[in-house]
């Protein structure tokens, strides 16, 4: 005889393989159990549940709002939302702050929830959206109703570009999207950071960033380590991206349908201060709703510009300090080559008359300095002369700099214990390979392409362009 303390087992649907609970006649609602249907919204074609006055929230039903002034969140308990103090049941495990889901525990500690249905295609782990498949394998998502727009509809049947309103940061004049607590990251929204000591990158998966092991979807082509973009492949292997509208240009289009070289992306709002430029310079800074290039930003807001210090600036400044004999050949620092047609900007450039020296700092292993087309374009701007390109990786297993937050709340970089030793190696290398030829022809005078040296990647190596 079953004891009174034993749990009553819920009857399951009699259809083979169905785990849903039986509702009526031994079957679940999905397999035909007829139950009293909840009242639907009175608007034609709307399948949402009616809340108040016969309509759903979307069509005007008013829900009880949080009693805090200016808060539009729904009231949960005690007339307030969760943000303003409504208490939710926590997991009963000691020290666990997760919300209890079922049985007094969270999912991490054993609460069983109905698992999201997976895509039917073998080997695919994406969630099924429509017709048993994911977007990648044919599920159709609601698109923006504007003619020719392929963006997904976000709200009101339109995408963000065509007017869908998203929650903005509550700080006056800020147009960034609210992330947490009604504010953007810039104004205090805290994001989950990588759990590795000293790493400020955002955690992606498993509490770590991509650099420290978070796995991202890779290209399906065997042996390719690039990140998958569309259709399971990277751009190199066929993922389609929007190209520049200028005929013959194969570069990726940014804002306005153009690439950076042809005027795409954000441009400096002080165009009248750049009369000699056919296209205003790229705007990488934003203040009070206006966008500025680095020069204009530094001129208008010198105090803020001081905080925009990258690893590149510190490494290149140390190179100039340690190698004063290069000063007479200095040409540009992070600017386009003078009197040339290219918009490509070498990090640090020296012109030795018959050849040139170029330094590039690869922050976090950034590969853009290794772009062969970019190096060729700078080489053409230098008159197809022989050149030496020295690429420096300040990060890696023994980083030269570490990011730290100041007492004012700003972030900056400071030297690690490896900085001096690595700069000593860099100085020694330049004095051996470059300095002996300052007033002579390059050792690679016979070459019409730059010679690339890579320092502190795995080991010092040389690569032809």
Please, which residues have CB within 8 angstroms of residue 68's CB and are 6 or more apart in sequence?
80, 81, 84
What is the pTM assigned to this prediction? 0.40
In the predicted structure, residue 14 carries a pLDDT above the cut 50 = yes
In the predicted structure, residue 6 carries a pLDDT above the cut 60 = no
Q: Within 13 Å and on the Cβ side, how many CA atoms surround 216? A: 15
Q: What is the pLDDT of residue 59?
A: 79
DSSP conformational letter for 190: P
- The sign of the torsion formed by the CA atoms of 320, 321, 324, 327 equals positive
> What confidence tier does 305 reach under pLDDT thresholds 50, 70, 90?
low
**What's the pLDDT tens digit per position in 178-230?**
877 778 877 777 778 888 777 777 887 777 877 777 777 788 888 887 778 77
Angle between the N-to-C axes of helices 419-433 and 311-322, in degrees from 0 to 180, rounded to the nearest 10: 50
Please report the DSSP string for 100-125 in residue order: P-BTTB-TTTT---PPPPBPSSTT--
In the predicted structure, residue 462 carries a pLDDT above the cut 80 = no
176 closest CA partner among 45, 287, 279: 287
In the predicted structure, residue 3 carries a pLDDT above the cut 60 = no
For the chain, the average pLDDT equals 79
In the predicted structure, residue 326 carries a pLDDT above the cut 90 = yes
Q: How far is Cα 181 from Cα 82, in angstroms, rounded to an integer?
A: 11
Q: How far is Cα 212 from Cα 357, in angstroms, rounded to an integer?
A: 34
| Residue whose structure tokens are 């087309």 | 373
- Residue positions counted in the chain: 465
Q: For residues 102 and 387, which has the higher predicted lDDT (pLDDT)? A: 387
**What's the pLDDT tens digit per position in 394-442?**
887 788 988 876 655 566 788 899 999 999 999 999 999 999 988 888 7
Per-domain boundaries in the chain: 228-265, 267-305, 311-464
- Answer yes or no: CATH 3.40.1350 is held by domain 311-464: yes
Considering only 147-151, 367-371, 410-414, which range has the smallest mean pLDDT? 367-371
DSSP conformational letter for 311: H
């Amino acid at each position: 005889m079953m004891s009174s303390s034993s749990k009553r087992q819920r009857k399951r649907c009699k259809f083979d393989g169905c785990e849903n609970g039986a509702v009526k006649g031994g079957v679940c609602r999905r397999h035909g159990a007829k139950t009293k249907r909840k009242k639907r919204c009175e608007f034609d074609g709307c399948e949402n549940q009616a809340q108040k006055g016969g309509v759903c929230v979307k069509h005007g039903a008013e829900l009880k709002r949080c009693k805090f002034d200016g808060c539009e969140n729904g009231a949960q308990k005690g007339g307030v939302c969760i943000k303003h103090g409504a208490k939710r049941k926590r997991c009963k495990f000691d020290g666990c702050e997760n919300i209890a889901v079922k049985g007094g525990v969270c999912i991490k500690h054993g609460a069983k929830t109905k698992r999201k249905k997976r895509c039917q295609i073998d080997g695919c782990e994406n969630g099924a959206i429509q017709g048993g498949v994911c977007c990648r394998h044919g599920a159709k998502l609601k698109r923006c109703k504007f003619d020719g727009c392929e963006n997904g509809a976000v709200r009101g049947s339109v995408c963000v570009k065509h007017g869908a309103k998203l929650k903005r940061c509550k700080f006056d004049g800020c147009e960034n999207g609210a992330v947490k607590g009604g504010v953007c990251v810039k104004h205090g929204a805290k994001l989950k950071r990588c759990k590795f000591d000293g790493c400020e990158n955002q955690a992606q998966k498993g509490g770590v960033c991509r650099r420290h092991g978070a796995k991202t979807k890779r290209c399906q082509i065997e042996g390719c380590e690039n990140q998958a973009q569309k259709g399971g492949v990277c751009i190199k292997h066929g993922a389609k991206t929007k190209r520049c509208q200028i005929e013959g240009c194969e570069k990726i289009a940014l804002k306005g349908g153009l690439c950076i070289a042809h005027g795409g992306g954000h441009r400096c709002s002080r165009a009248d201060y750049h009369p000699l430029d056919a296209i205003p310079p790229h705007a990488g800074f934003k203040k009070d709703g206006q966008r500025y290039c680095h020069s204009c930003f530094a001129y208008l807001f010198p105090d803020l510009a001081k905080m925009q210090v990258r690893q590149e600036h510190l490494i290149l400044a140390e190179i100039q300090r340690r190698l004063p004999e290069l000063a007479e050949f200095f040409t540009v620092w992070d600017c386009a080559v003078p009197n040339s047609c290219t918009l490509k900007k070498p990090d640090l450039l020296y012109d030795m008359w018959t050849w040139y020296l170029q330094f590039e700092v690869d922050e976090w292993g950034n590969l853009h300095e290794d772009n062969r087309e970019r190096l060729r374009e700078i080489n053409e701007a230098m008159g197809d002369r022989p050149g030496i390109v020295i690429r420096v990786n300040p990060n890696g297993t023994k980083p030269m700099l570490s990011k730290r937050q100041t007492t004012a709340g700003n972030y900056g970089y400071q030297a690690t214990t490896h900085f001096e030793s690595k700069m000593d190696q860099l100085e020694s290398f330049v004095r051996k390979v470059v300095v002996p030829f300052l007033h002579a022809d390059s050792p690679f005078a016979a070459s019409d392409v730059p010679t690339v040296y890579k320092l502190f990647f795995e080991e010092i190596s040389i690569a032809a362009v």
